[in-house]
Structure 1
Amino acid sequence: MVTQPGKPAPDTARRSERSRRAIYEAALALVVEAGYPKTTIEGIAARAGVGKQTIYRWWGSKADVLLEAFLDLGGQAVRDAGAAEHEPYAIPDTGDLAADLKAVLRATVDQLSDPRFEAPSRALAAEGVVDEQVGREFTAKLLEPSLQLYADRLRAAQEAGQVRADLDLRIALEFFVSPLAQRWLQHTGPISYEYTDTLVDYALHGLAPR
């Protein structure tokens, strides 16, 4: 490419980043407005102001676009909360396991109730049931990192003698994570702070009389 004297060469990296962000925003907006089945690559491209070939150069399907856009949205939420862009997130350890778990689950309730997160996360979860590849990526990129945060916090409590030494951490975290996910996905009841606080109490103290 020949540039005129005195004019800088076009910044292709910056242009590509603008296009990528426009595609993220278009994909998330369309899923919220039209639903996952009616969201198409053509629609995303038109909304983002790019050609279809631009999207297919970076992603193989609309599920791939939405998954990456949703991951970016989650990362932006963490940054908006004050964390550095590349700072790994962790469940705070105040020494009070119940309080820490209740705090992070309350934040999860807020996120699941936010339309920006709810529509794309429901779409990805539903698509992952019928598309094995999407399901594997959804699990690896979204579910596993979140579950590992709970496992790490429970391990710290285990090392502090706050929970049993022989506890299977992955099974233990399911006592409060899985019921919340099931209720949210299947609309079997409202999700609230009171509900998630109760999940933690039941998980930590059991059902037997105290």
Structure 2
Amino acid sequence: MAPTKAPDSSRRSDRSRRAIHDAALALVTEVGYRRTTIEGIAARAGVGKQTIYRWWPSKAAVLMDAFLDLAGRAAEDAGAGSGGTGEPAPGIPDTGDLAADLKLVLRATVDELNEPALEAPTRALTAEGIVDAKLGAEFVHKLLDPQLALYVTRLRAAQQAGDVRADVDPRIALELLIGPLMHRWLLRTLPLTHAYADEIVDYAVGGLAPRA
């Protein structure tokens, strides 16, 4: 008889982790952050609570990990769908046209914020991060800061090219782009559209350009 192949524990762990991630995201979408529990996640994923606690110390840690994994998969899908390799873009494109580059990125951000699979967990973690300082700091450190650093890099390149005033602080300037977008998305006052993203860039870049 041929020898029986031993189960691959790493593949089993990967399947369990993915099931837990999917369960956590589904629950936070359906019932909100506060009503999502470790017990509920475990039941939904078909695993024991001890399995979850072996990998994560808290519900917040599970959701953060699940959201980062989801965001990573979404970036890979976007890269593959655009004819790329499936890898996330290394940064904001630098075509020499600052406004066009920023519009491209802000439009992609609009699409992500409007994507149902991403919207609910993003709102849940954003809202909870306001009242939970530790979670909020982790959300900023792991998710927002790496993305904001890309804007700083692109704006500094624009400064070196003479397209942005030398006295502009890139870290503050990027808030002119991101702030209005997030404000409209959080309050849901008006639709979040590509046209709005383009207007933000036009207004911001007009104020950043060198004065005659």
Counterpart of 1:8?
A: 5
Q: Distance in 2 between matches of 1:31 and 1:136?
A: 20
User: Match for residue 46 of structure 2?
Assistant: 49
| Correspondence for 1:171 | 172
Answer whether contact 1:30 1:39 (CA < 8 A) is retained.
Answer: yes
Q: Partner residue of 1:141?
A: 142
Q: CA deviation at 1:172?
A: 0.6
Matched, 1:153 2:154: yes
SS class of match (2:63): helix
Over the matched positions of the two proteins, sequence identity in percent amounts to: 63
Q: In 2, Cα distance between the equivalents of 1:77 and 1:103?
A: 17
Distance 2:162 2:207 in 1: 17
- Normalising by structure 1, report the TM-score: 0.91
Distance 1:43 1:113 in 2: 27
Which residue of 67, 71, 74 maps to 1:70? 67
Distance in 1, matches of 2:46 and 2:141, equals 31
Greater CA deviation, 153-162 or 78-87? 78-87
Q: Is this contact kept in 1: 2:27–2:36, CA < 8 A?
A: yes
Aligned partner letter, 2:179: S
Q: 1:79 offset after TM fit, Å? A: 1.2
2:145 and 2:64 mapped to 1: Cα distance?
14
CA contact (8 A) 1:32 1:115 kept: no
Verify the 8 A CA contact 1:28 1:66 in the aligned structure 2: yes
Q: What's the RMSD between the two structures over aligned residues? A: 2.0
Query: Could you say which residue in structure 2 is the equivalent of 1:183?
Result: 184
Closer, same or farther in 2 for the Cα pair 1:66/1:100, shift >3 Å? Answer: same
Q: Cα distance, 1:17 vs. partner?
A: 0.6
Separation in 2 of the partners of 1:5 and 1:117?
47
Pairwise CA distance, 1:92: 1.2
| Corresponding residue for residue 23 of structure 1 | 20
Give CA deviations for 1:92-131 in whole Å, capped at 9, x if unaligned: 1111110110111111111101111110011101111111
Classify the secondary structure of the residue corresponding to 2:3. Answer: coil
Amino acid at match of 2:177: F
Q: Quick one: which amino acid aligns to residue 24 of structure 1? A: H
Aligned to 1:105: 106
Q: Which moved more, 1:6-15 or 1:77-86?
A: 77-86
For residues 96 and 66 of structure 2, the distance between their equivalents in structure 1, rounded to whole angstroms, comes to 35
Distance in 2 separating the partners of 1:77 and 1:191:
19
Contact map agreement 1:75 1:85 (CA 8 A) in 2: no
Question: Residues 75 and 87 of structure 2 are in contact (CA less than 8 Å); yes or no, is this contact kept in structure 1?
Answer: no
Amino acid at match of 1:22: A
Is structure 2 residue 46 aligned with structure 1 residue 61?
A: no
Structure 1 residue 8 displacement after superposition: 2.3
Q: CA deviation at 1:188?
A: 3.0
Give the unaligned 5+ runs of structure 2.
none
Unaligned runs of 5+ in 1: none
- Deviation of residue 59 (structure 1)? 0.8
User: Is residue 193 of structure 1 aligned with residue 190 of structure 2?
Assistant: no
1:202 aligns with 2:203: yes
